[in-house]
């Protein structure tokens, strides 16, 4: 077997990779040492901008297998028959911390899934919670600024976190989730995943349905207390990454069962609360879970940077039979995610191996830009329509059309009968056992008691009182006790 030769980026062989060229044995280095300059310049550019949110993440490959017939609800080809398998890539993540942050922290987890289907890539970009903090994307930058490092102190500040929540009563439901027992998963394998948003499915007859996705972990739910998490972070800040990597390497392949809730489109307008509000869940008594298939992870990436850090998921990557709903947060994310990737990775990020469609090659008129690898042949045209048999539109929309009326403007969403910010947070609190409630109260009070402004504390307490009288009273008493002892 011949020995591999070290080369420069241009392919020229490197004579000496241990010593820089100099003017004599002890003299200064020479500008003509292009290998040295190229190597240092290349090293300086190894890092790309990290994600503003979901920076810290782990990923794995696997497959999705259909186990139940859902062709009555969607014409998506990858869901077209029982037993059909589709290759997938998933990226798990924390939301608020930086790339070097710890895994075992109290934070929502990203659950971003890419299906490499025969009709193109389908991206389902969700979280490990079925709800979110806000319901309009115009508030998202402010929300994230309040949760990230303060520009003066350089660290997350309770004053900022709770001040934003004081002005966002719709966050009460998600705050109750986050501060509860599932706020710190024991691992990525031991948490559920949710599409969170409402999506539209359309069947072959053109009938439309609204759906919510639920990936139920087959490993069982396991979570950490604040004390357990602090101990684990001290031992291994990469605990979730370590667990996922080692489990798959041992052949202990984690899996999730996908269920969906299905609402006929005609029922949405008169449902008792807005079904497109991502701060609310649909009760299972109204729309029971229906099993669809199973997700199995069975292969680790070979290179974390190339396949996890450069993985790009966009909620606007749909396939025929699946499309968006009027969910405002989903509508905003459909622009923001793709634009974030264009900034971080370049306009041709979709040509990177982890992002490129595997079973339906891209064929369009996008050209050039940094890192372009797809050009077509010398006779291909870069405009459409054309007379040269270039790719053409199908005239078949991804989903059913939606009827729209009214005047353009900035509106608060029309109110349904039960459209308040607090009732589902109260229902979640009352579902908890007494021990779960006690831990929830302690977690909330631990953060809220550190807030320096009394008016911010009072506004947040009012939200918990509105959710449930006992809930509010217990949080208020716990905060008062902690503040008196500070």
459 exposure class (CB count in 10 Å sphere: 0-12, 13-18, 19+):
middle
Q: Are 48 and 344 in contact (CB under 8 A)?
A: yes
Residue of 35, 121, 127, 421 marked active site: 127
406: left (phi over 0), alpha (psi -120 to 50) or beta: left
Q: Are 178 and 162 in contact (CB under 8 A)?
A: no
Given 3-state DSSP classes, what are the helix, strand and coil percentages for the chain, each rounded to the nearest 5? 30, 15, 50
Contacts for 216 with CB less than 8 Å, ≥ 6 apart:
192, 256, 257, 258, 259
Residue of 17, 19, 35, 54 marked active site: 54
- Phi and psi angles of residue 134, each rounded to the nearest 5 degrees, phi first: -135, 165
What would the DSSP string read from start to end of 37-74?
HHHHHHHHTSPPPPPSSS-SEEEEEEEEEE-S--TTT-
Q: What tokens does 164 get? A: 């934003």
Alpha helices by DSSP H, listed for 196-351, are 226-235, 239-249, 304, 328-345
Q: Nearest CA to 259 among 211, 301, 299? A: 211
468-to-110, 280, 345, 362, 426 alpha-carbon distances in Å: 29, 16, 46, 52, 5
Element (H, E) at 126: strand 120-127
Sign, Cα dihedral of 97, 103, 108, 113: positive
Contacts for 163 with CB less than 8 Å, ≥ 6 apart:
146, 451, 453, 456
Q: Are 323 and 301 in contact (CB under 8 A)?
A: no
Cis peptide bond N-terminal to 385, omega within 30: yes
CA 330 to chain centre: 12
Contacts for 138 with CB less than 8 Å, ≥ 6 apart:
332
Is 197 in the active site? no
Pairing of strands 120-127, 57-66: unpaired
Q: Which residues carry out catalysis?
A: 54, 127
């Amino acid at each position: 077997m011949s020995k591999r030769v070290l080369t420069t980026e241009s392919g020229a062989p490197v004579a000496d990779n241990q010593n820089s060229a100099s003017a004599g044995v002890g003299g200064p280095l020479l500008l003509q040492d292009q290998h040295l300059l190229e190597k240092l310049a290349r090293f300086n550019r190894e890092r790309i901008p990290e994600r503003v949110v979901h920076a810290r993440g782990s990923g794995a490959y696997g497959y999705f297998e259909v186990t139940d017939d859902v062709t009555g609800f969607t014409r998506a080809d990858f869901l077209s028959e029982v037993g059909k398998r589709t290759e997938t890539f998933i990226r798990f993540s924390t939301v608020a911390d930086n790339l070097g942050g710890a895994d075992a922290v109290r934070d929502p987890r990203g659950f971003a899934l890419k299906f490499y289907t025969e009709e193109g890539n389908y991206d389902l970009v969700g979280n490990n919670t079925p709800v979110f903090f806000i319901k309009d994307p115009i508030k998202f930058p402010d929300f994230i600024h309040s949760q990230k490092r303060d520009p003066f102190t350089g660290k997350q500040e309770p004053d900022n976190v709770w001040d934003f929540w004081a002005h966002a009563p719709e966050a009460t439901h998600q705050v109750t989730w986050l501060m509860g027992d599932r706020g710190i998963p024991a691992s990525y394998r031991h948490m559920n995943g949710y599409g969170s948003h409402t999506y539209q499915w359309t069947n072959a007859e053109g009938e439309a349905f609204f759906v919510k996705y639920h990936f139920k972990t087959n490993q069982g739910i396991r979570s950490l207390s604040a004390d357990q998490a602090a101990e684990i972070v001290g031992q291994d800040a990469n605990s979730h990454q370590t667990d996922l990597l080692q489990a798959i390497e041992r052949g202990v392949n984690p899996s999730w069962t996908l269920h969906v809730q299905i609402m006929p489109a005609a029922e949405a307008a008169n449902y008792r609360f807005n079904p497109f509000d991502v701060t609310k869940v649909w009760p299972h008594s109204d729309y029971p879970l229906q099993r669809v298939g199973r997700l199995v992870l069975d292969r680790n990436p070979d290179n974390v940077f190339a396949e996890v850090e450069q993985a790009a998921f966009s909620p606007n990557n749909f396939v025929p039979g699946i499309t968006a709903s009027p969910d405002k947060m989903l509508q905003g994310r459909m622009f923001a995610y793709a634009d974030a990737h264009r900034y971080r990775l370049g306009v041709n990020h979709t040509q990177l191996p982890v992002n490129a469609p595997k079973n339906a090659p891209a064929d369009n008129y996008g050209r050039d830009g940094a890192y372009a690898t797809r050009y077509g042949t010398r006779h291909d045209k870069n405009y459409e329509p054309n007379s040269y048999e270039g790719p053409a539109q199908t005239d078949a929309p991804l989903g059913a059309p939606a009827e729209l009326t009214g005047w353009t403007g900035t509106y608060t969403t029309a109110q349904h009968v039960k459209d308040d910010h607090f009732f589902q947070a109260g229902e979640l609190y009352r579902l908890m056992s007494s021990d779960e409630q006690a831990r929830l109260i302690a977690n909330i009070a631990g953060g809220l008691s550190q807030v320096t402004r009394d008016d911010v504390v009072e506004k947040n307490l009012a939200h918990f009182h509105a959710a449930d009288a006992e809930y509010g009273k217990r949080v208020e008493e716990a905060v008062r006790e902690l503040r008196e002892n500070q």
